[in-house]
A and B are shown apart, each in its own frame.
Chain A
């Protein structure tokens, strides 16, 4: 279980508990947090669950796969700390994780 803070583009904060094994994307969808569309449901096929990982958490969330990186390359407003949240699995390690949402997923 990890406490994850999701910050919408307008600054609205949502702090929720996310079960181990779920993705950061699923944590948002299950808690009705807006700003992550996840059109493909987590298949790494659409790049609509784009988030910015807070600097302090960059290492712990791991490195994106080649597939994820290529998808991100063509998303809008990509930053060095951009990730697809469906590809970050939650574990105790990530307790306290903070992610921010872009203005739009499309």
Chain B
């Protein structure tokens, strides 16, 4: 690889991009590093935006991935509030929206994903919100409060977390979901049923199996959600949480292979030896499950940031990690690990009625995935067992009198 002294340029100042820069320095990389981000702020953590931050339990400073001094001390240039308009792979140069050109030796694409819009009439009304950026979260938080009515479109984790936070702020919340149950992507009915009941007991209403026909407005501001069955659900604000779109357009226009995300290998490399891609934007191999997947999580952002940084400095391939994620709703901590690919059975350990249980997804006697509700030992043990693929004793796993230590020991 020819080194021009241009160093590493990272496109995307999110969790993945910011972490990649930090890992490069941690691994001893001494060349120039620049992070280009289209938001006006340095890399910050997105998970709290729908959780602690939205409820007012965390301030803006605590969201920062690293303090600003970090970038100065580590000689990492932050080029913020700027978009990359073109990628010239032959010249190894980016063109930026402020007119500048930026050369690179290595490029890390960490462009993330964006909220999927709902193509219905009225979606452009004021008060129809998304929750992706700190600016989105500010807008949502300012709109919530006692007496306000929030309509959440989409019964996924973002929507449920927002509904819980809305309740904490004194607002009313109704969740509208196209499928017949919430958490439609979760395998099995135990967890969706549990969360729906938990939310209902705290005043959240649910409309399941409904189709959104459009948003009604008054003076340019949303006033209700119109359903296909003719009903209008009145609201003061509507939050759309109906999935994401990977921001792979820049890669695609530069001729890099994309398939619902930028295609990378297990070291986060694209087919262009100078270009890596990490985080939400990638379509990546998951060796444990022998599949290519897209993952949207902090764990994925960090794992791929390590892979790219390690490859650039010539370190060995980092150990494969078991993918994991978490969700906070009210006093519930949900921790998830693995993906239930190829699983043929569900095993519930603990008691959903006591809000302390775990759902294990099994393939034979091997744990493929877990969803643990206020059950950290189950989560931690499963994370290790998913990775090792060691068969477990089902009878022991189902018996809460047998500790997870003992289950893990076999």
Asked if B26 is at the interface of the complex by the 8 Å CB criterion, the answer is yes
Known: A39-B298, A41-B45, A43-B47. A70 touches B328 (CB 8 A): no
Among A29, A30, A41, A73, point to the contact of B380 (Cβ < 8 A).
A73
Known: A32-B67, A32-B73, A47-B380. A26 touches B302 (CB 8 A): no
State how many angstroms separate the Cβ of B372 from the closest Cβ of chain A.
Answer: 10
Main secondary structure of the interface of B (DSSP, over half): helix
Main secondary structure of the interface of A (DSSP, over half): loop
Binary per-residue interface labels of chain A (21-35) against chain B in the complex, 1 for a CB within 8 Å, 0 otherwise: 000001001111010
A106 touches B321 (CB 8 A): yes
Q: Which residues of A contact B52 (CB under 8 A)?
A: 43
A32 touches B380 (CB 8 A): no
Residues of A57-101 whose CB lies within 8 A of B:
67, 70-71, 73-75
Residues of B349-390 whose CB lies within 8 A of A:
374-377, 380-381, 383-384
Asked if A45 is at the interface of the complex by the 8 Å CB criterion, the answer is yes
| CB-based nearest A residue for B69 | A32
A43 touches B376 (CB 8 A): no
Asked if A46 is at the interface of the complex by the 8 Å CB criterion, the answer is yes
Known: A40-B298, A45-B335. A70 touches B380 (CB 8 A): yes
Asked if A15 is at the interface of the complex by the 8 Å CB criterion, the answer is no
Asked if B29 is at the interface of the complex by the 8 Å CB criterion, the answer is no
Q: Which residues of A contact B69 (CB under 8 A)?
A: 32
Interface residue range, chain A = 20 to 34
Q: A26, A43, A75: which has the most chain B beta carbons within 10 Å?
A: A43
A74 touches B335 (CB 8 A): no
- Per the bound structure, the CA–CA distance linking A75 and B379 in Å amounts to 12
- Per the bound structure, the CA–CA distance linking A32 and B65 in Å amounts to 11
| CB-based nearest A residue for B378 | A70
Q: Which residues of B contact A45 (CB under 8 A)?
A: 326, 333, 335
Among A29, A40, A75, point to the contact of B326 (Cβ < 8 A).
A40
- Per the bound structure, the CA–CA distance linking A25 and B45 in Å amounts to 15
Q: A42, A44, A70, A71: which has the most chain B beta carbons within 10 Å?
A: A70
Q: Which residues of B contact A44 (CB under 8 A)?
A: 333, 376
A70 touches B376 (CB 8 A): yes
- Per the bound structure, the CA–CA distance linking A41 and B69 in Å amounts to 18
Residues of B91-113 whose CB lies within 8 A of A:
none
Q: A41, A42, A67: which has the most chain B beta carbons within 10 Å?
A: A41
A32 touches B333 (CB 8 A): no
B66 touches A32 (CB 8 A): yes
Q: Which residues of B are in contact with A by a Cβ distance under 8 Å?
A: 26, 45, 47-48, 51-52, 62, 66-67, 69-70, 73-74, 298-299, 302, 319, 321, 324, 326, 328, 333, 335, 374-377, 380-381, 383-384, 404-405, 408
Additional pairs, 11, CB under 8 Å, beyond known A32-B73, A43-B333: A26-B62, A32-B69, A39-B302, A41-B47, A43-B48, A43-B52, A46-B299, A47-B380, A67-B376, A70-B377, A74-B384
